Structure 1
Amino acid sequence: MRMTMILMFWLLAATSIKAQELKGKVTGQPDNNPLIGASIHIVQTKQTLITDQTGNFVTPIAKGNYTLEISYVGFVGQTLNINVPLTKPLELTLWPQTTQLQEVAVVSNGYQLLNKERNVGSFATLNNSVLNEQVGTNILNRLEFIANGVTADRSTSAGTGGLMVRGLSTMRGVKSPLIVLDNFPYEGDPNNINPNDVESITILKDAVAASIWGAKAGNGVIVITTKRARYKAPLKVDFNSNVTLGAEIDLSDYPQMATADFIEVERMLYGKGFYTSQINAVAKTAVSPVVELLMKRTAGTITENELNEAIAKLATKDVRDDFSNYFYQHPLNQQYALSLSAGQANYNWNLAAGYDHNTNQLAAGYQKLNLRFNNTFRPLKNLEINAGLVYTKSSTKSGKPGYGDVTSKSGTLYPYASFADEDGNALPIIKDYRMSYLATAGNGKLLDWKYYPLTDYQNNNTTGDLQDIIINLNANYKLLNTLRLGIQYQHQQQKTSSEQLATIDSYMARDMINRFTQINATTGAVTYRVPKGGVLSLGNADQNASNLRTQLNYDEQFNEHQLTGIVGAELRDNVNESNSDRLYGYDPATLAYSSVDQATPYPTFITGGSS
């Protein structure tokens, strides 16, 4: 009886000290949709939770009283006092910040201008002054922080920079919103649009967008209207400059298993035979340094003390330190914009130029030049003609590898990897093949087959160039006071090119050359099926889109009533062409390269299998 009472007391005590759960869901009004990426900060524990794709959050927490601070971009924050344990999951609701959106008397849906109070459906409008509260290089990055219902998805490839209107679509296919620029769908890279040239933006969020633009508006529509000059206006000059120095990323915020725990798991798995298939693989599949040490101990080439000393040294390493020390830096963004405009009684014009020069936290470069000219004139009282030209040129350059970019054969990098020794000299890490095998492969007749992340990015560079031209021609004729005829034409041409040069010192080139190298067992003669030299990969893409629209607009006021209607026709043509090429044995100094027989399969050096 006494033993039973003691056991019951122990169970009650264990239950009373068990950690509780803090869980709940954050939604946004007025449509009660889940808010993805909302922040819940626990003041007492200084812990911050982020909601998942369904707006939910959960974390273990001890009993007690807590203060929660709930926040989400574009919504009014909320502070809540709670007592744990909870009787039921929290249901948290945030309301939009109405002060962030400026009142715009007239808004555009891409086909017509309507008074705001006559627009049906869910939409948001922003003007240039609101956009200028942010200093992002492109228009989409600025929208993320100032527009209600617009978020950036950082975890999935949602397209258009991961921008989403009213959450992530669950349908297969394109998940990005439709971009409409000056009344026509924009087929180019949204990064080309100069945010300093934008006059206003209308975001169409619900089914009304699909009724206007069809199925391609299923993920919402972002209607962008660029600036125009005014009639009878004096010369106006605007100059805007932004220079932003960002904070360096703190990789300690990224969750990673402790190195000592990771090694313990490896030792446990090795003891259970988990790595046996990799160890016995003919392809000499890569295994981690700890597994190689365990293999040496099993073979008797090192003692137990030597094994433990080597593992203890590795347990002190954290690869995030090397990433921070050698790869990451403070990002620097520079943006300059100049605009001139003027107008007379029957003529106005606008000229704008923009230049961006950015270097991100991994030293990747981005430069962009925007030029835009627009003029409007009235040759007749009821006729207005507008012509515009937009030119964009941008270039990109690859930088250093970031956390998660350096991988091994298994896809993940062991946390005790080191990129440099105490003197700063590059160290190799496990990539595709076992380090013990590479030490003797080819008896010195192969190229160095090791992978050095610290210097490899210097020998493997990717650059990209883009040129985009948009021509707009519009004519509007006032037939009657209530009837207008409009003809609009737009042509867009975008050319992109990319170049990746992996020199002979890069791992990519050395691995490709070694894999197909043949060494005569009798004479020792070496035959390179892939020529010694660099590998140059080239890509080009051309896009030509033309739009022609004829539209009749009717608008008449009847006392307190108003009747509005449009009828028209539209022709659209969009042609995309692309090609790619790869040159082997490339020498950037002489521009020479060698031919490769790609029709004949050759045996690989390690397995002898054809590829």
Structure 2
Amino acid sequence: MKLIGNAPAGRGELLSLLIWKIMRLTILLLIVALHLSAKTYSQYITIKKENLTIKYVLGEIKNQTGYSFIADNTLLENNMVRHLELKNVTMREALDACFNGLPYTYSIEDHLIVIRRTPRTIFPSLPLEMLAASIIRGRITDESGKALAGVSVRVEGRAMGTITNENGEFTLTGVAENAVLTIGSVGYETRRIKPEGKTFLNISLKTKTNLLESVSVVSTGYQTISKERATGSFDVISKSQLEKPAVNIAQRLIGTTAGMQAKLDVDGNPTFEIRGKTSLYASAAPLVVVDGFPLQGDFNSVNPNDIESITILKDAAAASIWGARSANGVIVVTTKKSARGVPLRVEVNAFTRIGSKFDLDYVNPLASSAETVEYEKLTFNRWGAQVNSGDLVSNYGKQWSQASIALSENYLGYLSNADRDAVLEKLKTQDNRSQISKHLLANPLDQQYNLTLYGGTQRMSNVLSLLFGKKQSNFKGTEANNYLFNYRTNASVFKWLDFNATAMVQYNDARNNGVSLSDIQGLSPYDMLLNPDGSYTNISQYYWPILTRSVPMNKFPYADWSYNPIQEVANRDITAKQLNARIQAGLTFRLMKGLSFDSKIQYELFNTFNRGLYNDQTFYVRSRVNTAASWNQTTGVITPNLSKGSILTQSRSKTESYNLRNQLNFNRRFGKQHEINVIAGSEITNFVSQTFGNPTTYGYNDQTLTLGTFPNGPGGTFFPIKNWLGNNQTFAYSNTFTYLTDRYFSLYANGAYTFANKYTVSGSYRTDASNLITDDPQYRYAPFWSAGLAWQIQKERFMSGISWIDWLNVRLTYGFNGNVDRSTAFRPLISTTATPDLYTQDFKASVSSYGNPTLRWEKTGTWNIGADYALFNNQLHGKVDVYNKMGRDLIAVLSIPAVNGTTSQRLNNAEMNNRGIELTVGTNLRIKGNDIVWRGDVNFAYNRNKITKLFVANYAASTLYSGGSGAYVEGKNANTLWSFDYAGVYNKQPYVKGAGKDKYDFTGWTPGDGRDYMLDMGTQVAPYTLGMVNSFKLYDFDVSFIVTGKFGHVFNRMSFNYPVLWGSRVLPNNKLGEVMKGDPMKIVPLPQNDDEPKFYFWDRFYPYMSYLAENASHIRMQEVNVTYNLKRRLASALHIGGLQLYAQGNDLFTILANNTGEDPEYPLGGMKPQPKFTFGLKLTL
């Protein structure tokens, strides 16, 4: 024999040989034992002995037939058989001989021999069927409701038991009333149960906590693949993570997957990017698939309590089956299904999540009231500001602050110096933050109540879930109610036909009456909302003194011209109602062994109804009606042009899609060495989106349903109507419509061959056609394909001596995914007006796009090398992936000769690469048996993005600093931050550095190419990401936390907002002191010339200085969760299946690498998530 390995010669080689022989002998003995235990009732029995106990005889029968027995211990020990000579007799003949002359009888059921004392009665013995009370049946499932086969069910203290069949079912006969059942299976915690008179038991087993939370299969949306034979790169979210409370299931993905960056908005809705940016203009969001079909809506249409599993497909072999929509990766969601033949099971999940009000000093980082007033005094009539002439027309539409009005009124001679100073001093003492917080802001609150029912018959399974969610936003008056109904059924119609169906109906009722952040940011820090007596203040939207002097306000339709945000919120009703539905249905035909055919269809309908009703207590109505009136300033006559009363706005949108798929499946094992898994199918998708806008209704009464008219017509060229300032105006009276359609046709196939359960070769092919792509077949039917290899090294013979390696799998894949940019077309696009010209009665048109005649799918080629491992009895596990994503035929704006009619056009001619590595390490340590267990997972990823091909002749500096699509530069990261290099102040003018030693001031655009003036400060998307998910089982408590980190990127922090021209409120931010005390050679100072004519141009420079670039690295404490699990014996005493009480904290704190205190993902001036705390329970009945 030749041994392959690295064992040393001599003693080590002999030891390896000895171990190999022992293993062979063990396997041989195991085969013999299995063979003996598989003997059936038809076998013959031979016994020849004297003076035997009944126990011995029954033991011999068990050894020779494999049947177990149930009997009283007294019978077994106290009864003897004097002489027994049996040769090749049947089991029934042997039993008859054994009990001959004894007061006992027997029955044979389900591989059990049940022995009972013959009843002492004058009546004949009852048949076994009449002894129902002693028969216990049941069904055993895992925590998800999946049936478990081969589970051992034993009666403690008795030599009796059985195992479950393929449906998880078992039957025990002759069980005493006080019996205790022991249920156990490999990989699951053993349970002890008292039937307590029940004749049918539903039993759920929990996975042992010291084992890996392993994944037996991986779902791609089209098929499920055994993880051992999956060649692609994928991640599966753990079941424990999915079961945590979440308003949106996407929240459960944060920090769990290497290479998937996530960012949450203030409401907790995340956006994802997997393995970097793959397109310059198309969406970077991954495709989301729910139960095999792409999700047209968002995650809010999926009940987070219904999720069974989530799989992240990352490389070409994993995701290429989705073709032209998979370059950004795929998130596959599978919902829960009930097992068949189980009685009703009820789950109730309810929680409340409350958060802190947002920090006003962060979202509105203004200087103090005193600093603001002093600053307004400093800037009054300086730096090129237009001096107030005091007339109405020049001041209309300009929102003057109270301090600037006092200064201007003093300048115009209407206010004395003393009165001016008194006004300013009073304003210095006022601070509106407490009133804003009390009257406009709210603590965000989420409440969710979910009821799920599981049940079914032997041929059908059903799941019904009902969810109600109530959401209060950060602003008072903005809230929503969400109602979600889901039903799923699976039925076995015939042995060869299965039917499945899913229905989802969602109704969302949102009220958006609250203010917006921009409303708050438009207030000066001294603008109070309420007077001391509680009445509304007037935060005028006009220059109020000029209005009172020049306008006969009492003669207009509404004499009240005041504005107050609290009053606005209280007197408007802005709603958005959504009614959504999703229906899936499918048939599965089993044609022969291993071969089946699926036919599935999905239909989705999303309707949104928007309605805004503003009564005439709102400034919106009063201002609209008043300013629309015609005012003859000579005669003083005012003619209303709009009816008084409420204003009503209405619109609706409708999105409708269907997806039809037919698929052939072949899964077959040939002998012990070969396994083939193949699917092939076709798919048709149609997507239509429409919007309908109604004209604004004036003079509306919601009680009587009456509306006003245009007293003088809607206006227009032939019948002009003047507004209050004498300008022509027109009122819209026609509807608006939009229509968008996408169609796809696809052919696909995927196959895998596995040899010796160790080596797997996989391949996939898909071609997509769409109305978005050119009609030239050369480009329209571009193929997407992949190929992969997998090698389970731990199953090799040379690994047999390495006991500390439990699993080692190596993967290699290469293939192409696709993407689509909907912003361009293969033919020139003509944009036409919706209504004809009033003079010519013809429609006007213009060229909106010159077209891309070779428009084709964007392609991303990816190679991936990966390894999965589990070590030290599964106590350490993880994976490593190295990849290179090569984007080709990417659509980009390229420079072309002007002879084409334009100097730029979107064409498939750019290329971009993403290279990276992903590491995942996890552990499962039993510190104190099953009482104290630590499970931890850490993932780390690095991604480097680079545009490798892009022709743009020239870049304006403004294009670069604006970022986004205009800032793409060949050889650079697609997320580069561009900044000016500040040169200091010369001759009282700030300068930036140019090419060589050139310097340019702020008075005009920089000439030439912007790259000569701007610096590459680094990428704005983190190349390094970290996720840590740790959980601890401490007796009846589970404690877990999630930490995320992003490193190696930069962001542009907030600059001081240098003063603008008159006509808007002067609101200096809290960076004022930085500028006042700063070195003018290091930071842009305030203008040093009192008369600075080009000061209005400064905002093209000062927000984009290199000294504003900061380190964006940070670490977040994303989540802490504590769960109490009620002991099973207490749950049984309460007659419930289980109870969990939990508390959770989210967005608890962030550690920043910069010293500014500014969060790089939520910059100053915007809302960032505040700490939130959740309390809830999960009850199983």
Q: TM-score, normalised by structure 2?
A: 0.40
2:216 to 89, 99, 105: 105
CA distance, structure 2, for counterparts of residue 541 and residue 183 of structure 1: 26
Contact 1:128 1:198 in 2 (8 A): no
Map of 2:271 onto structure 1 = 163
Return the offset for 1:146: 5.3
What SS does the corresponding residue of 2:300 show, helix, strand or coil? helix
Map of 1:194 onto structure 2 = 303
1:282 lines up with 2:391 in the alignment: no
1:124 to 227, 232, 235: 235
Return the offset for 1:145: 6.2
Name stretches of at least 5 consecutive residues in structure 1 with no aligned partner. Answer: 1-98
Query: In the TM superposition, what are the counterparts of 1:479-494 in structure 2 within 5 Å?
Result: 479-494=591-606
Return the offset for 1:515: 1.4
1:347 lines up with 2:460 in the alignment: yes
Q: CA 1:540/1:162 → structure 2, altered by over 3 Å: closer, same or farther?
A: same
State the superposition RMSD in angstroms: 2.8
Map of 2:312 onto structure 1 = 203
CA distance, structure 2, for counterparts of residue 139 and residue 235 of structure 1: 26
CA distance, structure 1, for counterparts of residue 728 and residue 590 of structure 2: 75
Return the offset for 1:367: 1.0
Map of 1:605 onto structure 2 = 724
Query: In the TM superposition, what are the counterparts of 1:516-595 in structure 2 within 5 Å?
Result: 516-521=628-633, 524-557=636-669, 559=672, 562-581=675-694, 582-595=696-709
Return the offset for 1:121: 4.2
Map of 2:439 onto structure 1 = 326
Map of 1:224 onto structure 2 = 333
Per-residue CA deviations over 1:250-285 (Å, capped at 9, x if unaligned) read: 323446131333333333332315441776763522
Return the offset for 1:473: 1.0
What SS does the corresponding residue of 1:391 show, helix, strand or coil? strand
1:152 lines up with 2:263 in the alignment: yes
**RCO higher in 1 or 2 (8 Å CA, sep ≥ 6)?**
2
Map of 1:415 onto structure 2 = 525
Q: Aligned letter for 2:584?
A: N
Contact 1:163 1:177 in 2 (8 A): no
CA distance, structure 1, for counterparts of residue 714 and residue 275 of structure 2: 46
Return the offset for 1:453: 0.9
- Greater Cα offset, 231-240 or 276-285: 276-285
CA distance, structure 1, for counterparts of residue 233 and residue 410 of structure 2: 68
Map of 1:397 onto structure 2 = 511
Contact 1:102 1:130 in 2 (8 A): no
Return the offset for 1:209: 6.2
1:476 to 558, 569, 588: 588
Which of structures 1 and 2 has the bigger CA Rg? 2
Contact 1:340 1:351 in 2 (8 A): yes
What SS does the corresponding residue of 1:500 show, helix, strand or coil? strand
CA distance, structure 1, for counterparts of residue 355 and residue 276 of structure 2: 28
Contact 1:346 1:379 in 2 (8 A): yes
Query: In the TM superposition, what are the counterparts of 1:23-42 in structure 2 within 5 Å?
Result: none
1:140 lines up with 2:264 in the alignment: no
CA distance, structure 2, for counterparts of residue 214 and residue 414 of structure 1: 53
Number of matched pairs: 503
Per-residue CA deviations over 1:1-46 (Å, capped at 9, x if unaligned) read: xxxxxxxxxxxxxxxxxxxxxxxxxxxxxxxxxxxxxxxxxxxxxx
Map of 1:47 onto structure 2 = none
Query: In the TM superposition, what are the counterparts of 1:493-504 in structure 2 within 5 Å?
Result: 493-504=605-616
1:235 lines up with 2:351 in the alignment: no
Contact 1:464 1:499 in 2 (8 A): yes
- Percent identity reads 28
CA distance, structure 1, for counterparts of residue 637 and residue 314 of structure 2: 68
Return the offset for 1:295: 0.8
Map of 1:267 onto structure 2 = 377
Map of 2:291 onto structure 1 = 182
Per-residue CA deviations over 1:234-254 (Å, capped at 9, x if unaligned) read: 321111111223333332344
CA distance, structure 2, for counterparts of residue 414 and residue 178 of structure 1: 44
Q: CA 1:252/1:224 → structure 2, altered by over 3 Å: closer, same or farther?
A: same
Return the offset for 1:464: 1.4
Return the offset for 1:593: 0.8
Q: CA 1:384/1:580 → structure 2, altered by over 3 Å: closer, same or farther?
A: same
What SS does the corresponding residue of 1:258 show, helix, strand or coil? coil
Contact 1:242 1:335 in 2 (8 A): yes
Q: CA 1:272/1:520 → structure 2, altered by over 3 Å: closer, same or farther?
A: closer
Q: Aligned letter for 1:500?
A: G
CA distance, structure 2, for counterparts of residue 145 and residue 422 of structure 1: 49
CA distance, structure 2, for counterparts of residue 579 and residue 518 of structure 1: 31
- Greater Cα offset, 464-473 or 297-306: 297-306
Map of 1:67 onto structure 2 = none
Contact 1:102 1:125 in 2 (8 A): no
Return the offset for 1:417: 1.8
CA distance, structure 2, for counterparts of residue 240 and residue 425 of structure 1: 44
Per-residue CA deviations over 1:154-210 (Å, capped at 9, x if unaligned) read: 39xxx9945113388473343433221111111124312111122111223445565
CA distance, structure 1, for counterparts of residue 611 and residue 665 of structure 2: 48
1:338 to 437, 451, 455: 451
- Greater Cα offset, 381-390 or 492-501: 381-390
1:295 lines up with 2:416 in the alignment: no
Per-residue CA deviations over 1:123-155 (Å, capped at 9, x if unaligned) read: 32225542231332x223343465552412539
Name stretches of at least 5 consecutive residues in structure 2 with no aligned partner. Answer: 1-209, 731-1181
Q: Aligned letter for 1:401?
A: V
What SS does the corresponding residue of 1:497 show, helix, strand or coil? strand
What SS does the corresponding residue of 2:677 show, helix, strand or coil? strand
Contact 2:596 2:664 in 1 (8 A): yes
Q: Aligned letter for 1:397?
A: R
Return the offset for 1:395: 0.6
CA distance, structure 1, for counterparts of residue 234 and residue 387 of structure 2: 58
Map of 2:353 onto structure 1 = 244
Q: TM-score, normalised by structure 1?
A: 0.76
Return the offset for 1:317: 3.1
Contact 1:283 1:607 in 2 (8 A): no
CA distance, structure 2, for counterparts of residue 417 and residue 459 of structure 1: 21
Return the offset for 1:415: 2.6
What SS does the corresponding residue of 1:594 show, helix, strand or coil? coil
CA distance, structure 2, for counterparts of residue 415 and residue 337 of structure 1: 44
Contact 1:518 1:526 in 2 (8 A): yes
Contact 1:230 1:342 in 2 (8 A): yes
Q: CA 1:607/1:520 → structure 2, altered by over 3 Å: closer, same or farther?
A: closer
Q: CA 1:283/1:254 → structure 2, altered by over 3 Å: closer, same or farther?
A: closer
CA distance, structure 2, for counterparts of residue 502 and residue 195 of structure 1: 36
Q: CA 1:424/1:403 → structure 2, altered by over 3 Å: closer, same or farther?
A: farther
Q: Aligned letter for 1:477?
A: F
Return the offset for 1:528: 1.4
Q: Aligned letter for 1:344?
A: T
Return the offset for 1:316: 2.8
CA distance, structure 2, for counterparts of residue 160 and residue 214 of structure 1: 30
Q: Aligned letter for 2:262?
A: T
Map of 2:485 onto structure 1 = 371
Query: In the TM superposition, what are the counterparts of 1:428-447 in structure 2 within 5 Å?
Result: 428-431=538-541, 433-440=542-549, 441-446=551-556, 447=558
Q: CA 1:247/1:283 → structure 2, altered by over 3 Å: closer, same or farther?
A: closer
What SS does the corresponding residue of 1:456 show, helix, strand or coil? helix
Map of 1:22 onto structure 2 = none
CA distance, structure 2, for counterparts of residue 313 and residue 561 of structure 1: 88
Q: CA 1:252/1:566 → structure 2, altered by over 3 Å: closer, same or farther?
A: same
Contact 1:131 1:146 in 2 (8 A): no
Q: CA 1:500/1:173 → structure 2, altered by over 3 Å: closer, same or farther?
A: farther
Contact 2:625 2:640 in 1 (8 A): yes
Contact 2:631 2:725 in 1 (8 A): no
What SS does the corresponding residue of 2:721 show, helix, strand or coil? coil
CA distance, structure 2, for counterparts of residue 416 and residue 207 of structure 1: 58
Contact 1:165 1:205 in 2 (8 A): no
